[in-house]
Structure 1
Amino acid sequence: MFNYKITPLENGLENVQGFYCDAVNVGMRPDTEQGDVAFIRSEVPCNISAVFTSNTFQAAPIRHYQRYGKDFQTDFVLINAKNANAMTGEKGIEDIDTIISTLHQKLSVTNPVMSSTGVIGYRLPIDKICSAFDILDFSAKNSHKAARAIMTTDSFKKELAYCVELSDGSHFNIAAICKGAGMINPAMATMLCFIATDADIPKSDMDTLLHAGTEQSFNRISVDGDTSTNDTAMLLANGQSTAYNKEAFSAVLNQLMFELAMMILKDGEGANKLVAFEVKGAKNEEEARKASSALSNSLLVKTALFGEDPNWGRIASTIGASGVACDDTRLTIHYDDLLIYSDTFRELDKEREEQAYHIMKQEQFTVTCDLGMGEGAYTSYGCDLSYEYVKINAEYRT
């Protein structure tokens, strides 16, 4: 067992050696105190790994990224809010080329990439975005501004940073900014996540560990069951600390990504509750995943959570409709440690219903379903669906 120590740090991306970040407002967002164009820059070219949405209609920034080819390096990420540059066809990609061409005139950059979030179906306001290059301070370190600038319906910024001290006395830092509150059902992995590290991590490890971390975090959450056209998680590594250990890096990356995923759920456009849906005793892990994901996506389950209604019938019916092998005589359902359904206790008596009601008033709790069919297990994470969610999304463009 390799010894290492993980310590949380304040100020996000600012902690990572050789990285810079900032944001400005160019008029796409009416609140001039909040930026709408942000950047992350490394003083040396970085290895980059990314996972993207599985939505067939991937946005132009993703398609532009994919044209660079395998194992390219970059030193610059440009991010804009208010416009997703999705469903804009080849013109959307050409607009990115135009923006990057203008950037090259202002700053020496290597294979810059772009990421966008906002409304689907509109081309980027090129002149506004390019105007940012005249006012951005490319030597600034302002993680807070960058984290706020990439928000859409988010109610709070999401950023984390950690220092990892290795047993030989060396250390590396890793940090991230992230956005996401609605249109959240990552399938890779609307959500964006940008992770920067000065660890000297091999590119092959970056790909492996980012995909593994995504499966344990962003791919297990659902706010509303909708998968965006823009979902992106990027990992950039410039190696400037010269320190690295795979076991330690994997542990801190998993921790960082899971915490960010839980932040997204807590910010789920009016959400009041974060709920873990643990399915065990399934025929296999894939069946457990299907049942667990069905629970985290179910609108009826989500509205029951919002109403704090301990109606186990919605849990059971969702499992039964998920297509997995199940049997009502073997099924058990618990809210935290409270048994609310089994073959013996099919009717929720007044005492247990009152106990369940108190559990559901908590901000966080676990729904555990044992199918009694095998050894498969999987946990997804979801939130309730409130009146505020409907209001936010009904008025999204206004």
Structure 2
Amino acid sequence: MSLEKSTMIEDVMKLLIEYGPEKFRESLELLYNQAMQIERSEVLRAHPYERTEARRGHANGFKPKRFNSSVGTLALQIPQVRGDVSFYPGSLERGTRSEKALKCALAEMYIQGVSTRKVREITEALCGLSVSSSQVSRVTRELDESLSAFRDRELDDPYPYVYLDARYEKTRHNGRVIDSAVLIAIGVNKRTGLREVLGISTELSEAEVHWRHFLEHLQKRGLKGVDLFISDDHSGLKAARLAVYSHIPWQRCQFHFQQNAQAYAPAKNMRKELADAVKAIFNTDSKEEACTKTETVCKTYADKAPAFCDWLQDHIDEALTVYDFPKSHRRRIRTSNGLERLNQEIKRRTRVARLFPNQESCLRLITAILVEQHETWISGRIYLNFDIDECEAKNNAMPFYRKNVA
């Protein structure tokens, strides 16, 4: 045993013998500090002030650090080095991982809508440590950085199918409570066949200017290879899409289209009947059959529901774009139901908060939820298979298979 190690143990033993358990924290500080100096000497391959050809770098003093442990807060002196060598004590590296785990737990509690006061109570009960509001705020800032990086990441792969939707959350804005629009985009990656969350934004409304800003941000991040947008009938989105992606076709969600049809029923007892009539159109095998079925439905209800027939003839084409794409893909791209299920999960989590103090806190929570979903999707099953027989592509004359995906 080296003299350095022997002296350290003797000093610790003296403290414990003279003062007993009440000096245990000081004893632990001494052990940590001495152990870290020994570890530094081993990394440098030389003791302090020792001249040797094997030396790698030099000692460079100490940096104070307060370290939370099960016996209280320890005042430690972290050995520093200079030269072509990096060093951080292995004993504290384990503590660093624990600290990161605690930060993740705090962040998750925040995401779940737990108040700062409750976070402090929980950490005191679990860890015996008091976590201040400022510490929780620091964790929140770190969380914001990672969430912002996710929202602004480059989109390198082509995404043939992109689903767009909006939902509303109550937030405070200029002293008033308003319904802020949360705009969401998910896409299917052509290279992997997996779904991904592409974009999230909180805006004052679904007006064209806000949708346009959202789509332009996706464009700047590299969104390419889009062959079809799928969404409900949002007027602001429709105008913004034509302005930013005018050459990309649009599939109106067939599920919502069926629901919209019920608004044109002349009597309440006819709502389901009209929705079923529209559903029968969508269950046909080709666009030609769908058009023929539409004519039949309009003739059937020309007298009983003329407003419905006029609306159907004016808008049915928006819901039939899906027929221009591979038959094996149609079930996945004819509706935006995947986004609806995602919205249900968001609602389940956001109803804890009920009212967000600002748009930033709303964006933080929803982004965190979507990051979780994104990670589940990219590590799960393939959503769509793009390795389809070329004959099917040629027979359908699909824009999806154009060579230029940019």
Structure with the bigger percentage of strand: 1
Tell me the TM-score normalized by structure 2: 0.24
Tell me the TM-score normalized by structure 1: 0.24
Bigger Rg, which one: 2
